[in-house]
């Protein structure tokens, strides 16, 4: 929204007539809830200036360089509901107090970094890209009172904590995975999770779209995959699927939050939903029974059958056409019913199909056994230590995405009494999920061989958005910090104090989080 000064003045007069203060200067001073040193994930550097607090008022504008308009509109959308202020996006501040979004060239901060300065006379956020500006906005919103996340106007003073932040990520990929196959989640529920993870600078959403219990994406050349294979879920619960239009809408929404969607079709195992729907995908030509239990490792596509690869190519072709991101995830885990030689043969045929349609391969770390191209990203989910195949893939040039089940799996119970989740990998309290280092997890895989980190959330026991939130918060911000913040900032006691100050924001946002006894919540 871009307004002339005359229109802006009229808007301010209207607000004043409605009973909102024309200037926050008339309100009594209120100390900020947080400092620039309280931001999660921890910045590269942050210096507080208690005398540099900035006040939002009805006169405040948002200025945006060319190329920064989308982020400016997003920021305006964050700030308007609780303040009730117009906060127009304008090219220049014309003497009014402003939050300024600027694009430039700063070699220190790369493609996702930013510099944020908050002073009494204005807020300046600089970055080299819109992605960097968006990440900076996530820090800026944490410097406001928690009530900024309220959905209705709050009559109060809006103070932004003063100081300077210089920041950029440790790893390029900071991801979250949502399993929509075991239990189906509607598009609005996925978008809700997108908004929640975006505020911690997560930049990829891995959607696990197909498994033994259900198929969740429309494939027009194999229509019954969705309409029949999508009917089921764990424990016989209702299923569902995304039309291609709905999927594209989710992808576009994630992109508006600077998040890239990575779709997964797990294969050659975890394929019972497809094999129970299309009999020809089985070696004997007979459809297998529907399965809604949570066992793993029993299903396998028919590796020797040409129809298998027609199926794979059709799925890859259609999914690639509606996925603008660079990666398709081809699964590859727990293929216990596929003989090792067949597994390698399958991977050797499928990985070039992905490349044919302009995408790069990512998959669970078992794909490393097939000597994938250096562009492939194996996703490590095991418990750490020796893994020669993964180390060899890293040595050939592949970047490894770290998702150790005993630290990063958000579906693991916090303790034995947690009502949701599983415990096969570990009980993961908040401190456990924070106290690990990707660069020392797998022998032979060092700092520069790591793509980043991802926090998977499997949904065998999860049915609602409240369930998702309870398992993801407060652990997801810790995984995000591992992926974003410098290793030198990694300190449990300091993080614990910063994390505690996030809880009022989650309350304002309506997030159903676990109040771990390890944290002194505010």
- Point out the residues that are catalytic: 334
Those residues whose C-beta lies under 8 Å from the C-beta of residue 404, and which sit 6 or more positions away, are 380, 381, 382, 383, 384, 436, 441
C-alpha torsion sign, points 512, 490, 145, 515: positive
CB count within 10 Å of CB 300 equals 25
Q: What DSSP designation does 375 have?
A: T
The total number of residues written for the chain in this structure:
522
Helix residue ranges per DSSP H, 228-383: 244-256, 272-277, 306-321, 340-356
Q: Is 244 helix (H, G, I), strand (E, B) or coil?
A: helix
Contact 518, 431 (CB under 8 A): yes
Can you tell me which residue has the tokens 């989910």? 381
Contact 273, 215 (CB under 8 A): yes
CA–CA separation, 18 vs 343, rounded Å? 68
Residue 377, class by beta-carbon neighbours within 10 Å (0-12 exposed, 13-18 middle, 19+ buried)? buried
CA–CA separation, 384 vs 407, rounded Å? 10
Measured CA to CA in angstroms, residue 235 lies from 28, 216, 276, 292, 419 at distances of 56, 17, 17, 5, 17
CA dihedral in degrees (417, 419, 422, 425; nearest 10)?
Answer: -30
State the pairing for strand pair 163-167/114-119. Answer: antiparallel
CA–CA separation, 439 vs 451, rounded Å? 11
Q: Which two tokens stand for residue 125?
A: 């956020």
Q: Which two tokens stand for residue 241?
A: 């699927």
CA–CA separation, 96 vs 4, rounded Å? 12
CA–CA separation, 337 vs 303, rounded Å? 11
CA–CA separation, 23 vs 119, rounded Å? 17
CA–CA separation, 339 vs 173, rounded Å? 33
**Phi, psi angles (nearest 5°) of residue 143:** -90, -5
CA–CA separation, 162 vs 55, rounded Å? 10
Helix residue ranges per DSSP H, 143-284: 187-198, 224-227, 244-256, 272-277
Q: Which two tokens stand for residue 178?
A: 């949502």
Contact 325, 262 (CB under 8 A): yes
């Amino acid at each position: 929204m871009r307004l002339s000064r005359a229109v802006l003045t009229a808007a301010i007069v209207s607000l004043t007539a409605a009973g909102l203060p024309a200037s926050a200067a008339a309100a009594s001073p209120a100390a900020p809830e947080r400092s620039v040193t309280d931001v999660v994930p921890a910045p590269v550097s942050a210096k507080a200036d208690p005398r540099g607090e900035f006040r939002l008022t009805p006169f405040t504008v948002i200025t945006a360089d060319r190329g920064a308009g989308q982020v400016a509109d997003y920021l305006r959308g964050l700030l308007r509901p609780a303040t009730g202020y117009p906060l127009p996006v304008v090219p220049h501040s014309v003497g009014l107090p402003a939050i300024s979004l600027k694009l430039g060239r700063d070699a220190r901060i790369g493609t996702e970094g930013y510099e944020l300065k908050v002073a009494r006379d204005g807020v300046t956020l600089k970055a080299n890209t819109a992605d960097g500006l968006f990440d900076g906005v996530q820090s800026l919103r944490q410097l406001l009172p928690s009530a900024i996340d309220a959905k209705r106007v709050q009559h109060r003073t809006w103070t932004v904590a003063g100081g300077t932040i210089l920041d950029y990520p440790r790893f390029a990929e900071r991801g979250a995975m949502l399993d929509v196959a075991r239990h189906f989640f509607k598009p609005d529920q996925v978008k809700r999770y997108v908004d929640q993870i975006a505020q911690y600078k997560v930049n990829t959403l891995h959607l696990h779209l197909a498994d033994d219990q259900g198929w969740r994406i429309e494939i027009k050349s194999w229509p019954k995959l969705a309409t029949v294979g999508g009917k089921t879920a764990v424990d016989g619960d209702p299923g569902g699927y995304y039309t291609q239009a709905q999927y594209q809408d989710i992808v576009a929404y994630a992109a508006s939050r600077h998040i890239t969607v990575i779709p997964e079709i797990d294969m050659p195992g975890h394929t019972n939903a497809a094999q129970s729907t299309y009999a020809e995908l089985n070696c004997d030509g007979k459809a297998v029974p529907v399965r809604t239990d949570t066992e793993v490792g029993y299903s396998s596509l028919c590796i020797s059958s040409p129809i298998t690869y027609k199926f794979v190519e059709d799925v890859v072709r259609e999914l690639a056409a509606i996925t603008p991101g660079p990666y398709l995830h081809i699964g590859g885990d727990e293929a216990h019913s596929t003989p090792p030689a067949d597994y390698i043969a399958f991977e050797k045929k499928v990985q070039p199909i992905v490349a044919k349609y302009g995408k790069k391969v990512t998959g669970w770390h078992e794909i490393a056994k097939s000597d994938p191209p250096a562009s492939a990203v194996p996703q490590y989910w095991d418990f750490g230590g020796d893994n020669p195949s993964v180390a060899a893939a890293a040595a050939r040039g592949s970047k490894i995405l770290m998702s150790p089940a005993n630290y990063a799996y958000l579906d693991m119970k916090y303790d034995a009494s947690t009502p949701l989740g599983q415990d096969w990998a570990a009980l993961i309290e908040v401190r456990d999920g924070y106290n690990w280092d990707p660069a020392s997890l797998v022998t032979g895989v060092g700092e520069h061989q790591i793509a980043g980190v991802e926090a998977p959330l499997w949904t065998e026991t999860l049915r609602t958005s409240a369930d998702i939130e309870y398992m993801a918060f407060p652990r997801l911000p810790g995984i995000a910090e591992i992926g974003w913040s410098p290793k030198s900032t990694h300190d449990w006691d300091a993080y614990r104090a910063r994390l505690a100050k996030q809880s009022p924001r989650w309350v304002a946002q309506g997030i159903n989080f676990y109040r771990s006894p390890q944290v002194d919540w505010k």
